[in-house]
Structure 1
C-alpha cells in the first residue's frame, strides 16, 4: 500500500513539473497549443485550466491562448500548464 502511494505521488509530481524546463520568453520555445481542437469561431469555454504562455501571460485555458494568437496574429506557445512563475505585468482579456 505504501509503495502504491509513493508511486502515485511521484507520478503526480512528474506531471506537475513536466512543462517547466523551457527557457523564459522566446515564442520559439515551449509547446505548440493544440488550436485545432477548438472551434474558436464559437468561442471558448470558461473552464479554468490555466496555461502560462511563452510571453509570461497567464491564459485561462488553452483555447483562450489560441484565440489571442488568432486576434493578435502572434505565435505564443505554452510555456507550462498551470500558473506562471514570473507573470507579465500585462493584464488584459487573455486572463478572463
Structure 2
C-alpha cells in the first residue's frame, strides 16, 4: 500500500521514526508493519496481507510499539471515583 501524506500530516512527526501500525484484534494491540517513507514524494509504502485498522505515527525506540498517549486510568476507576464523590457528598449539583 502507498499512503500519500501532506506536509500537515507529518508536521509534528519525526519521519525517521515513521511507521504504520495495524490493530491486532486477537492481542488487542497495535503492531508495527515494515515500511519506508519517501521524503521526495511524501509517501509511506508498506505491505500487508489483510485489511485492518491502520494508524500512522512514530515508532518507539524499539520500533514495534505504538507509543502510549492519554491516560492509564480506565473507565471502572472513573466510575468508582464518581460514585464515591456522589455518595460521600463531594459533588454538589
TM (normalized to structure 2)? 0.26
Q: Which is helix-richer, 1 or 2?
A: 1
Q: Which is strand-richer, 1 or 2?
A: 2
Greater C-alpha Rg: 2
TM (normalized to structure 1)? 0.25
